[in-house]
Every structure is written in C-alpha cells, then in structure tokens.
Amino acid sequence: MSAVLNNIKILIISSLILFQVANVLHSQTILIAKFSPVGIHPFNEKNSHIFENKFDSNGIFVTEPCLILGGETLLREDVFSIRYLLGGMSDAASKPAFFIHAGVKYKFVQIWRSSFAIGAGINLYGRERWSTIDGYIAESGWKQNGDWEYKIGPMAELEYLLLLGERHDLTFSILYGHQPRTFSLTIGYRFWLSTEIKNLKGCGSCPFAKKKSKKKTKWHF
C-alpha cells in the first residue's frame, strides 16, 4: 500500500477515534462553515511565478476561494473541544485542492458576547498535480497518486467569536495552513445542534449566565 494511502488511513482513523471519545463523554457538537477569498503567502515561494490571480508581482496575495465545513465537539464545558474540518478550494495555481483536518481548540477569553480561541491540528492536503504546469519547480513532501498529489502538514487558527443568539455564532479568524505555508482571513458561522452544555462545572465562561443551571443550558437571558 502506498505512503499516500497510509497517510489517509492514519488521518481518518485518528478522526474516528476523536469522534468516538467525544461520544463516550456525551459532549456537545456545533456545525461550522467558513469562507476565505484570498490566500496570503508571506514566505519565499519557489513557485510564486506560476500563481494565478495574484494581486502583486511577488505573489503574496492571491485569489484562492476556500470553503470550509465541519464540526466542533465540546469535551470540557464550552472551553475545550475537538474539531474535524473539510476544506475545498481553487489553490494558488488555480488547481482544485482540498484538506482534511483533525485538531483541538481552546477558548482562552470570554467577554460578554465576544470570545477568543486558538486551534491547532494536522491536515491532509490534496491538490491536482502542479508538475503538469510549465515552469513548476519540485517541492518536497508531496506524494503523487494519479493526477493528484498529497501531503501532511500543520494548521493553526486564532479565532474571534461573536454570539448572535442561543444557537448562532459569527466568527472571524486568522488561519494558517489551509494550504502549506499559507495564511488566510476567514469569516464563518457556527450553529449549535443543542444549547445544552454537558460536563458543565460552572458558568464563568457562559455568556449571560449568572449561576450554574441544573438544566446545564448554554446560557440564560
């Protein structure tokens, strides 16, 4: 079995394990949608000359529309969670690309309706082969499989959340790693499947909550 298939299996198995752990702990799941229109490439890119739809001659800002869908499962109150994301995009070379992400997220600040969180994890990247593009310079780490190539890499995020209502949140974030060595700015939406927060030890981080609820709801108005 190829190294690419092995990497895919490892990531899928890891995601299933994380999801099963969440189910065992009876945690709460939130649906996620994010969108980013532009990729930011601040590092020296050997293939910046093949970037399509770039705003500057150095290829630092490139139109790379990316849609991200996924879920977030709370493990401890509304502070610590696991995430599983799937992103699809037109990459810097205007080739179809995607990523599969498994990681964790920690909320470190809650101020009324606003909060800040950090997330980190591992990605499986996939893109249509760049080696078919004239002038392409080979990049390390990519494994070819037919017309596609794959790579494992990190992803991290600094996220601001604005609570719009009992089930609805608006998000803005700085994301690193939707593609290798690439930053992006995202706008997103979160939908709570239920307002109940299980494993709740206190409501210090629950907006509008004045005390711990026996029903353990997300918050009280």
Residue 212 located in a structural domain: no
Q: Which helix (H) or strand (E) holds 12?
A: helix 3-24
What CATH number does the domain containing 184 carry?
2.40.160.20
Residue 220 located in a structural domain: no
Residue 217 located in a structural domain: no
Residue 216 located in a structural domain: no
- Rounded Cα distance between 36 and 188, Å, is 9
Number of domains in the chain: 1
Residue 71 located in a structural domain: yes
CB 21, CB 74: distance < 8 Å: no
Residue 202 located in a structural domain: no
Instruction: Please determine, for residue 10, whether its predicted confidence score (pLDDT) is greater than 70.
Output: no
> What is the three-class DSSP state of 167?
coil
Instruction: Please determine, for residue 201, whether its predicted confidence score (pLDDT) is greater than 80.
Output: no
Instruction: Please determine, for residue 212, whether its predicted confidence score (pLDDT) is greater than 60.
Output: no
DSSP state of 54: B
pTM above 0.85, yes or no: no
Residue 205 located in a structural domain: no
CB 51, CB 62: distance < 8 Å: yes
Q: What is the pLDDT of residues 161-199, one digit of tens each?
A: 999 988 899 999 999 999 999 999 999 999 988 766 665
> What is the three-class DSSP state of 98?
strand
- What pLDDT is stored for residue 218 in this prediction? 47
Residue 67 located in a structural domain: yes
Q: Domain span at residue 160?
A: 3-192
